[in-house]
Amino acid sequence: MRTGKGTTSRELSAVNAHRYALAAMLAWVGMAAVDAHAQALPAPKEFYFDQDRSSTRPVAAIAATGETLVDRLASTVQRDPNAVEARAQLAAIAMAGGRRALGEELYQTALHAPNAGAPRRQIEWNYGWDLLRAGDPARALAQWSGLVNGRPAAPDWLPPTLALVLWRLDRKDEAVKWYAAAVRTWPDQWGAGADFARLLPAWRDDERATLAEVQVAWQAKPPAWP
Protein backbone atom coordinates (compact mmCIF):
# COMPACT_ATOMS: atom_id res chain seq x y z
CA MET A 1 0.00 0.00 0.00
CA ARG A 2 1.48 3.32 -1.06
CA THR A 3 2.14 5.73 1.80
CA GLY A 4 3.68 8.68 -0.03
CA LYS A 5 1.96 11.37 -2.05
CA GLY A 6 -0.53 10.35 -4.69
CA THR A 7 -4.09 9.40 -5.36
CA THR A 8 -4.15 6.39 -3.04
CA SER A 9 -2.92 8.30 0.00
CA ARG A 10 -5.40 11.11 -0.57
CA GLU A 11 -8.29 8.70 -0.93
CA LEU A 12 -7.33 6.64 2.10
CA SER A 13 -6.98 9.83 4.14
CA ALA A 14 -10.46 10.81 3.10
CA VAL A 15 -11.76 7.40 4.13
CA ASN A 16 -10.05 7.86 7.49
CA ALA A 17 -11.93 11.12 8.00
CA HIS A 18 -15.39 10.02 6.90
CA ARG A 19 -18.37 10.86 9.06
CA TYR A 20 -18.48 7.49 10.83
CA ALA A 21 -14.90 7.66 12.07
CA LEU A 22 -15.54 8.87 15.60
CA ALA A 23 -18.21 6.28 16.38
CA ALA A 24 -16.13 3.49 14.88
CA MET A 25 -13.00 4.40 16.79
CA LEU A 26 -14.94 4.68 20.05
CA ALA A 27 -16.26 1.18 19.44
CA TRP A 28 -12.70 -0.02 18.89
CA VAL A 29 -11.49 1.55 22.13
CA GLY A 30 -14.37 -0.06 23.99
CA MET A 31 -13.55 -3.48 22.62
CA ALA A 32 -9.87 -3.08 23.40
CA ALA A 33 -10.74 -2.54 27.05
CA VAL A 34 -12.33 -6.00 27.31
CA ASP A 35 -10.12 -8.61 28.95
CA ALA A 36 -10.44 -11.30 26.31
CA HIS A 37 -7.85 -13.40 28.16
CA ALA A 38 -10.84 -14.29 30.34
CA GLN A 39 -13.26 -14.64 27.40
CA ALA A 40 -15.51 -17.55 28.29
CA LEU A 41 -16.01 -20.25 25.68
CA PRO A 42 -18.42 -23.17 25.70
CA ALA A 43 -16.91 -26.64 25.98
CA PRO A 44 -16.02 -28.15 22.59
CA LYS A 45 -18.59 -30.37 20.94
CA GLU A 46 -17.76 -33.94 20.10
CA PHE A 47 -17.42 -33.40 16.35
CA TYR A 48 -16.99 -30.52 13.89
CA PHE A 49 -17.93 -31.79 10.45
CA ASP A 50 -19.64 -28.68 9.01
CA GLN A 51 -18.05 -26.84 6.12
CA ASP A 52 -18.19 -23.05 6.26
CA ARG A 53 -16.77 -21.94 2.92
CA SER A 54 -18.81 -18.75 2.74
CA SER A 55 -17.15 -17.47 5.92
CA THR A 56 -13.60 -18.77 5.61
CA ARG A 57 -12.43 -16.77 2.63
CA PRO A 58 -11.15 -13.24 2.12
CA VAL A 59 -13.76 -10.57 1.49
CA ALA A 60 -13.57 -9.72 -2.20
CA ALA A 61 -16.03 -7.02 -3.23
CA ILE A 62 -13.87 -5.82 -6.11
CA ALA A 63 -11.62 -7.92 -8.33
CA ALA A 64 -8.41 -6.03 -9.05
CA THR A 65 -4.84 -5.85 -7.75
CA GLY A 66 -2.35 -3.39 -6.33
CA GLU A 67 -2.97 0.33 -6.46
CA THR A 68 -5.91 -0.09 -8.81
CA LEU A 69 -7.71 -2.21 -6.22
CA VAL A 70 -7.01 0.22 -3.37
CA ASP A 71 -8.12 3.22 -5.45
CA ARG A 72 -11.38 1.55 -6.45
CA LEU A 73 -12.16 0.38 -2.92
CA ALA A 74 -11.41 3.80 -1.44
CA SER A 75 -13.64 5.50 -4.00
CA THR A 76 -16.43 3.01 -3.33
CA VAL A 77 -16.48 3.45 0.45
CA GLN A 78 -16.33 7.24 0.12
CA ARG A 79 -19.27 7.20 -2.26
CA ASP A 80 -21.42 4.56 -0.54
CA PRO A 81 -21.60 4.29 3.28
CA ASN A 82 -23.43 0.97 2.85
CA ALA A 83 -20.61 -0.67 0.87
CA VAL A 84 -19.92 -3.12 3.69
CA GLU A 85 -17.87 -5.68 1.76
CA ALA A 86 -15.74 -3.05 0.03
CA ARG A 87 -15.06 -1.49 3.42
CA ALA A 88 -14.03 -4.85 4.89
CA GLN A 89 -11.81 -5.63 1.92
CA LEU A 90 -10.08 -2.27 2.29
CA ALA A 91 -9.75 -2.89 6.04
CA ALA A 92 -7.82 -6.10 5.41
CA ILE A 93 -5.49 -4.33 2.99
CA ALA A 94 -4.91 -1.51 5.46
CA MET A 95 -4.04 -3.87 8.32
CA ALA A 96 -1.77 -5.98 6.13
CA GLY A 97 0.01 -2.77 5.14
CA GLY A 98 0.61 -1.72 8.74
CA ARG A 99 -2.19 0.87 8.91
CA ARG A 100 -3.94 -0.76 11.83
CA ALA A 101 -5.90 2.27 13.04
CA LEU A 102 -7.46 2.71 9.61
CA GLY A 103 -8.10 -1.02 9.30
CA GLU A 104 -9.78 -1.12 12.71
CA GLU A 105 -11.97 1.83 11.82
CA LEU A 106 -13.05 0.29 8.54
CA TYR A 107 -13.80 -3.09 10.09
CA GLN A 108 -15.79 -1.56 12.94
CA THR A 109 -17.81 0.61 10.59
CA ALA A 110 -18.55 -2.38 8.37
CA LEU A 111 -19.69 -4.49 11.33
CA HIS A 112 -21.92 -1.72 12.69
CA ALA A 113 -23.56 -0.95 9.34
CA PRO A 114 -27.32 -1.59 9.17
CA ASN A 115 -26.84 -3.94 6.20
CA ALA A 116 -23.95 -5.95 7.68
CA GLY A 117 -26.12 -9.01 8.34
CA ALA A 118 -25.35 -11.26 5.38
CA PRO A 119 -21.55 -10.86 5.26
CA ARG A 120 -21.07 -10.33 9.02
CA ARG A 121 -19.78 -13.83 9.77
CA GLN A 122 -17.23 -13.63 6.95
CA ILE A 123 -16.09 -10.17 8.10
CA GLU A 124 -15.71 -11.31 11.72
CA TRP A 125 -13.69 -14.35 10.64
CA ASN A 126 -11.32 -12.17 8.61
CA TYR A 127 -11.13 -9.50 11.30
CA GLY A 128 -10.08 -12.15 13.80
CA TRP A 129 -7.19 -13.26 11.61
CA ASP A 130 -6.06 -9.69 11.02
CA LEU A 131 -6.09 -9.04 14.78
CA LEU A 132 -4.12 -12.21 15.48
CA ARG A 133 -1.53 -11.26 12.87
CA ALA A 134 -1.36 -7.75 14.33
CA GLY A 135 -0.27 -9.32 17.63
CA ASP A 136 -3.65 -9.13 19.39
CA PRO A 137 -4.77 -12.72 20.06
CA ALA A 138 -7.11 -11.61 22.86
CA ARG A 139 -9.28 -9.58 20.52
CA ALA A 140 -8.97 -12.20 17.80
CA LEU A 141 -10.56 -14.63 20.24
CA ALA A 142 -13.28 -12.07 20.97
CA GLN A 143 -14.15 -12.01 17.26
CA TRP A 144 -14.11 -15.78 16.79
CA SER A 145 -15.96 -16.56 20.01
CA GLY A 146 -19.00 -14.85 18.53
CA LEU A 147 -19.02 -17.48 15.77
CA VAL A 148 -18.98 -20.51 18.07
CA ASN A 149 -22.76 -20.91 18.30
CA GLY A 150 -23.67 -19.57 14.89
CA ARG A 151 -24.57 -21.27 11.63
CA PRO A 152 -23.20 -23.69 10.69
CA ALA A 153 -23.32 -25.06 14.21
CA ALA A 154 -20.09 -27.09 14.09
CA PRO A 155 -17.71 -25.55 11.51
CA ASP A 156 -14.60 -27.60 10.79
CA TRP A 157 -12.28 -24.58 10.99
CA LEU A 158 -13.16 -23.83 14.61
CA PRO A 159 -11.18 -26.46 16.61
CA PRO A 160 -7.72 -25.79 15.12
CA THR A 161 -8.26 -22.03 15.03
CA LEU A 162 -9.35 -21.81 18.67
CA ALA A 163 -6.56 -24.19 19.66
CA LEU A 164 -4.08 -21.77 18.07
CA VAL A 165 -5.39 -18.59 19.69
CA LEU A 166 -5.97 -20.15 23.11
CA TRP A 167 -2.42 -21.50 23.19
CA ARG A 168 -1.08 -18.04 22.41
CA LEU A 169 -3.16 -16.67 25.27
CA ASP A 170 -1.57 -19.27 27.57
CA ARG A 171 -4.91 -21.01 28.00
CA LYS A 172 -3.20 -24.26 27.18
CA ASP A 173 -5.59 -26.76 28.73
CA GLU A 174 -8.44 -25.29 26.69
CA ALA A 175 -6.30 -25.26 23.57
CA VAL A 176 -5.62 -28.98 23.93
CA LYS A 177 -9.34 -29.70 24.40
CA TRP A 178 -10.16 -27.86 21.19
CA TYR A 179 -7.40 -29.65 19.32
CA ALA A 180 -8.81 -32.94 20.62
CA ALA A 181 -12.12 -32.01 18.98
CA ALA A 182 -10.32 -31.76 15.64
CA VAL A 183 -8.75 -35.18 16.21
CA ARG A 184 -12.09 -36.76 17.14
CA THR A 185 -13.63 -35.37 13.98
CA TRP A 186 -10.88 -36.38 11.57
CA PRO A 187 -8.36 -38.63 13.38
CA ASP A 188 -6.56 -39.53 10.17
CA GLN A 189 -5.94 -35.83 9.43
CA TRP A 190 -5.26 -34.24 12.83
CA GLY A 191 -3.67 -37.16 14.68
CA ALA A 192 0.01 -37.82 15.27
CA GLY A 193 0.96 -37.66 11.59
CA ALA A 194 -0.90 -34.42 10.79
CA ASP A 195 0.47 -32.55 7.77
CA PHE A 196 -0.24 -28.96 8.75
CA ALA A 197 1.21 -27.52 5.56
CA ARG A 198 -1.38 -29.47 3.57
CA LEU A 199 -4.25 -28.99 6.00
CA LEU A 200 -3.64 -25.29 6.64
CA PRO A 201 -2.08 -23.81 3.49
CA ALA A 202 -3.29 -20.27 4.27
CA TRP A 203 -1.72 -20.27 7.74
CA ARG A 204 1.69 -18.72 8.30
CA ASP A 205 4.68 -20.80 9.36
CA ASP A 206 4.60 -19.43 12.91
CA GLU A 207 0.89 -20.26 13.21
CA ARG A 208 1.44 -23.84 12.11
CA ALA A 209 4.39 -24.05 14.52
CA THR A 210 2.14 -22.95 17.38
CA LEU A 211 -0.44 -25.57 16.47
CA ALA A 212 2.32 -28.17 16.40
CA GLU A 213 3.03 -27.29 20.03
CA VAL A 214 -0.63 -27.88 20.83
CA GLN A 215 -0.46 -31.22 19.05
CA VAL A 216 2.55 -32.28 21.13
CA ALA A 217 0.65 -31.40 24.31
CA TRP A 218 -2.38 -33.35 23.07
CA GLN A 219 -0.23 -36.40 22.34
CA ALA A 220 1.33 -36.22 25.80
CA LYS A 221 -2.04 -36.16 27.56
CA PRO A 222 -5.11 -36.60 25.35
CA PRO A 223 -8.16 -35.24 27.19
CA ALA A 224 -11.01 -37.63 27.86
CA TRP A 225 -14.39 -37.18 26.21
CA PRO A 226 -16.80 -35.99 27.41
Closest CA to 217 of 164, 173, 159: 173
Q: What is the pLDDT of residue 50?
A: 97
Domain layout of the chain by residue ranges = 1-42+56-150, 157-226
83 burial level (CB within 10 Å; 0-12, 13-18, 19+):
buried
Look up the pTM and report it: 0.84
Q: How far apart are CA 153 and CA 131, in angstroms?
A: 24
> What one-character DSSP code corresponds to residue 7?
H
Q: What single letter denotes the amino acid at residue 55?
A: S
Q: Which amino acid is at 183?
A: V
pLDDT in tens, the chain (226 residues): 433 444 455 555 545 544 444 444 545 444 544 555 667 899 999 999 999 999 999 999 999 999 999 999 999 999 998 899 999 999 999 999 999 999 999 999 999 998 888 799 999 999 999 999 999 999 999 999 999 988 999 999 999 999 999 999 999 999 999 999 999 999 999 999 999 999 999 999 999 999 999 999 999 999 999 8
Three-state secondary-structure class, residue 50: strand
Buried residues in 128-159 as b, exposed as e (16+ CB within 10 A):
bbbbbebebbbbbbbbbbebeeeebebbbbbb
Q: How many other C-beta atoms can be found within 10 angstroms of the C-beta atom of residue 201?
A: 8
Written as one string, the DSSP assignment of 115-183 is: T-TTTHHHHHHHHHHHHHHTT-HHHHHHHHHTTTTSSSSSBTTHHHHHHHHHHHTT-HHHHHHHHHHHH
The dihedral through the CA atoms of 11, 15, 131, 61 has a sign that is: negative
pLDDT tens digit string along 159-181?
Answer: 999 999 999 999 999 999 999 99
Residue 17: per-residue pLDDT: 47
Predicted local confidence at residue 12, as pLDDT: 54
